[in-house]
Amino acid sequence: MRIARTGVELRETLQAERISGRTIGFVPTMGALHEGHLSLVRLARAKDEAVVVSVFVNPLQFGQAEDLEAYPRDPERDFELLEGEGTDVAFLPSVDEMYPAGDCTTISVGRPLGRVLEGHDRPGHFDGVCTVVAKLFNLVEPDHAFFGQKDAQQVAVIRRMVHDLKFPIDVVVGPTVRDPDGLALSSRNCFLSPEDRTKALALSRALNAGAAELSAGGAVEVVEKVMWDLLAAGEGVEPSYARVVDRHSFEVPEGDTGMVLVVAARVGGVRLIDNVEVKS
């Protein structure tokens, strides 16, 4: 596995791939890798001839009250995992490399997609995500970029940015990876105590109950109430939202296709999100 720490190194490293016409698959990450990330690397491996993974904890997508400093970091383990998956190039830029002093251009994600739910609870979050992903896309110039369904709204925001800013990149979405008891994998799960981890199962329980209600013909408001009530009943669970939305716009769904059930809650001070897509 080759390592690039600057944009110049990355371009030099990828030049040979481009000259020989190999397709490039790109998996952007913030490190603290888990099976969810690795499943995306495997998807990229199956589709593309060269796989690039970036590991960069992006300060721009953290709010002032959020956990940037505490965000889990384990570069040596990440390195071993990426090498084990046959990654071709790991891109590990510094903050100065991605945001040189004086850098002042950012991307603003429009309403409502960028400002509801996660965008509402974490102001500026999606602007930060899109700014760094656009920079990474420009540096890597991938054919395919891989994101996890676990961050459903991020997927919708990135797809919209790719469309609106005309990146010639195909966005591929990998399924949410879960522990056997249903907890969606997240780098933040490491902050959960064993007791809080058990309490966090309320999120997947709420989604399962919501999906069952929907398939039994329940109205959107009823489904949302079922999910909210289950979250609110969970000891130590502070729900933030429980909604049924259109999977592209994140607005109230019209018709019964392409919906996603989304929930967010704090458990033991850790903010968790989860979702299930409902296709009919």
As measured in angstroms, the least distance from the Cβ of 12 to ligand PAF is 23
Minimum separation from the CB atom of position 132 to ligand PAF (A):
5
Q: How far apart are the first and last CA of the chain?
A: 42
Instruction: Determine which residue in the list 97, 118, 143, 151 makes contact with ligand PAF, applying CB under 6 A.
Output: 151
Long-range contacts of 39-44 (CB under 8 A, 24+ apart): 39/148, 39/174, 39/175, 39/177, 40/146, 40/147, 40/148, 40/174, 41/82, 41/85, 41/87, 41/146, 42/85, 43/146, 43/172, 43/174, 44/144, 44/146, 44/172
44 binds ligand PAF (CB under 6 A): no
Contacting residue, 10, 14, 24, 30, with ligand PAF by CB under 6 A: 30
Q: Environment class of residue 141 by beta-carbon count within 10 Å: exposed (0-12), middle (13-18) or buried (19+)?
A: middle
- Summary count for the chain: helices (H), strands (E): 10, 9
Q: Residue 253 interacts with ligand PAF (CB under 6 A)?
A: no
- Is 129 near ligand PAF (CB under 6 A)? yes
**Is residue 55 near ligand PAF by the rule CB under 6 A?**
no
CB of 151 to ligand PAF, least distance (A): 5
Q: Pattern 213-252, binding to ligand PAF, x per CB under 6 A?
A: ----------------------------------------
* 37 included as an active-site residue: yes
Binding site for ligand PAF (CB under 6 A): 28-30, 58, 61, 129, 132-133, 151, 154
